[in-house]
Structure 1
Amino acid sequence: MRLLEHDPELGQLLDAQRREQATHELIAHVTAVEVGEWDGARLADVDPRNLGLIVLEGVLAREVVLEEFVSTELLGAGDIIRPWPLDPEPSLLPVQTRWNALSPARLALLDQRAAAVIARYPEINAVIVDRLIARSRRLAIEQAISQMKRVDDRMLALFWHLAERFGRVVPDGVQVPLVLSHRLVGELVGATRPSVSTALAELTARGELTRRDDGTWLLLGHPPAVPDVPGPELIRQRRRLTPARAQGASG
């Protein structure tokens, strides 16, 4: 598969001539992942010298388990992952990592051959590094959200945070098209499932957040940081400035 045809933003810094050349040279194998638990370390093509995987479609959940506590990170199109780390899990803490596909996903394997091609294109390397930094920035934001005192505030902040990447403007608000259970939301904001259920009831009563019949979520009103701009209008404005891959993911 020609990777730049499926992930064109990876070549956004290339001029026209180099982009055409890179499109023909950069070939990646694609792995399909079904909904449910996924062990990326057991991919048939896994080699510790491979660079990693790029998410082309779908949403993955990376769960870090410490005793009975679980912290979850959501990953979508454009994210770069490497489920076969060189360093083992920390030995002084009982930590485990689990992967789940929340929707059918397609992943592009950056093997050694693809890595050799990428090495000839610093422009592509710059985009890869930028994506890794963006992922770390999102994690820092989510950590800050988990420090908010009230669970309803955490949930509202989380869903506006997710809407910035996955949100879709619909007639009655901003849809976050991810099917997230109350348990999973709790793992994202650092709260128990009963606390999430109680907070959701409060947010629904206030007309700020509701769960739709299909399991996805609907934001109403204004984002916390921009109280004077309706959410749908803000999402429309950002879509004019942000890459197409950030516009949504099914779940």
Structure 2
Amino acid sequence: MIEIDRLSPPDSIAYLDRVAASDSGRTYKRQMLGMLDLHPGQTVLDIGCGPGTDLADLAAGVTQTGSVIGVDHSPVMAERARVRLAGQPIVDIRIGDAHSLPIDDHSVDRARTDRVLQHVADPSQVLAEFRRVARPGARIVMAEPDWDTLLIDHDDLAMNRGLNRFIVTEVVRNATIGRSLARLSAQAGLIVRSVVTTAPVFRDFEMADQLLGLRRNIVRAVEAGYLDGDAERWIEEMGAMPFLAGVMVFLVVAEAPE
């Protein structure tokens, strides 16, 4: 039986910090930073900046001659970001909705959004907002998972498929947004410059459980009828054998028309 204290949702700030500190997190965030192609003097926007995890790297890229704007809907996240970036005078943290950014028209050179569009009510509206605030030729870099690609190595493939059906249907609002980013960007009038994928691989079960919520989602999937009671035994077996899991993340670069 899975212990009750393992089923509670993680603290949001601690979870985001844990992802950023993981090997896979550092890898794809470095990719995103390179894709942004930051230059001194630019204005760069982080849509859904959370506790400010990536703002210092953005500030370093545009130097003291540029500016960084972080927007998050959560006052708690915004306040944590302000505390963390207190020594960065070029960083401005704003509370706001990604669907209606508190940003002037045509004022941004670069933007990023990292695992945010999977949760918003209307990803297309967020992309339309980027186009509104973008200067001609401005670039946005987006990273989003596709949860239907979650793979767990085990002979019982039906358990993996049942878990994926639960996550895609019940847990994540836009669970397959990764595969849709290029299409949605084009429909928003943006020019898609590149689409690449990265697939973080987890070989440590406890780390995968922390970042993917395996135990918690297995219990919820059983309660919702997507899996039978053997699923709890199945996931606990994972911790007692060589483990491997992975999920595909799409990285998309798009630009506003000149």
**TM-score category, normalised to shorter length:** 0.3 to 0.5
TM-score (norm 2): 0.33
